[in-house]
Amino acid sequence: MTSACPLLPKGTAAYRGGVRAHGLVSAVPTAEPADHICWVYADDAHFDAAVRQFLAGGLARGERLLCVGERVIDSVRAEGSPVDGVESLIADGRLEMLTVAEAYAATGRFAPETQRAFYDAATRRAVDDGYRGLRVVADVTPLAEDDASRSHLATWEHVADEFVAHGPGMSALCAYRGDLPADALADAASAHPLVHAAPGVPAFRLFFDQGCLILAGSVDSFDADRLQRLLSASPVEGSLATLDLTFLTFIDGAGCGALARWARDLGARSITLELRGAPHLVRRMWSILSLDTLAPVTFSGVPA
């Protein structure tokens, strides 16, 4: 992981121009490379509209479409489908459809490393076949409902975001039904740069951009464990990990403790943690709480 992540003005929501879009959205944004959206839907009409916009954007960009999940397949095949010419799209290879079992259980077990390999192979096939990439719509609700898979789901979404940001060309809309448990929705949404959900879900977002991690939003004692789990799952490589805090609006001692424990774990692997654009509050708490004795870090950038 490199440290080539640019600083941007605090308060910026979804943005374009050399960096990924991020923020809370009310509608599916115009299709761009490396989109990764958590879409929490309330009803069928809401779901179908999001599917229509996301897949239409992929067709316009010349991407292969992959629909995952029975709910997505039913939406695409239904009368008045959000996608026109389904059978011809399938016949010429522009559209593929898989059930959740086919996409996830077919790899032997639901695990982040096997899913990454699955989507990597599918994306590379699309590129080799002449498409600009692979655009995936997946209704992940069944995985969030299952106790066995739910514990791995947030980790998978985080690993998937790294792949979307730095892989060969996949974009994804991950759909979750809105009546799922609040913790399950917050876990999943926290690992996406773009989120459509009820107000306050999630409190923070941890996502990848240009070789570094970005932490946006707020972290308090109620969210510190969730942040700790996602940080621990981060696929960090090399001798330096960079976490950009430019978009962090609030963090308390528990949140800083989560950062320090991650820094300690990285140090055990001979990886230095750089905290870029850390607010004055973070730098002060690091000193007051003597967190540097637990995990030395490097502060860089202009503090907010």
Residue 267 CB-half CA count within 13 A: 14
pLDDT at 107: 58
> Which of the four pLDDT bands, split at 50, 70 and 90, describes residue 80?
low
pLDDT at 143: 87
**C-beta separation of 211 from 66 below 8 A:** no
Residue 12 has pLDDT above 80, yes or no: no
pLDDT, tens digit, 9 for 90 and up, residues 170-182: 999 999 999 999 9
pLDDT, tens digit, 9 for 90 and up, residues 47-71: 999 999 999 999 999 999 999 999 9
Residue 103 has pLDDT above 90, yes or no: no
DSSP 28: P
Reported CATH class of domain 20-201 = alpha beta
Residue 205 β-bridge partners: 216
pLDDT mean across residues, the chain = 88
The residue that leads in pLDDT, 240 or 114, is 240
Q: Are strands 212-219 and 204-209 parallel, antiparallel or unpaired?
A: antiparallel
pLDDT at 149: 82
**C-beta separation of 64 from 136 below 8 A:** no
pLDDT at 295: 85
Angstrom distance (rounded) from CA 45 to CA 58: 20
pLDDT at 17: 41
Reported CATH class of domain 1-13+210-304 = alpha beta
pLDDT at 82: 59
H/E stretch holding 213 reads: strand 212-219
Q: Measured between alpha carbons, how far apart are the two ends of the chain, in Å?
A: 24
Contacts of 279 (CB under 8 A, 6+ apart): 245, 248, 251, 303, 304
pLDDT at 304: 58
pLDDT at 265: 95
pLDDT at 100: 83
**C-beta separation of 10 from 216 below 8 A:** no
Q: Read off the amino acid at residue 223.
A: D
Angstrom distance (rounded) from CA 245 to CA 249: 9
Residue 4 has pLDDT above 60, yes or no: no
pLDDT at 135: 97
**C-beta separation of 300 from 268 below 8 A:** no
Residue from 31, 83, 65 nearest 134 by CA: 65
pLDDT at 109: 65
pLDDT, tens digit, 9 for 90 and up, residues 146-177: 887 887 888 899 999 999 999 999 999 999 99
pTM for this predicted structure: 0.88
Residue 287 CB-half CA count within 13 A: 5
Residue 1 has pLDDT above 80, yes or no: no
pLDDT, tens digit, 9 for 90 and up, residues 199-222: 889 999 999 998 899 999 999 999
The residue that leads in pLDDT, 124 or 16, is 124
Return the domain boundaries, the chain: 1-13+210-304, 20-201
pLDDT at 157: 93
Tell me the average pLDDT across 86-113: 83
Angstrom distance (rounded) from CA 56 to CA 54: 6
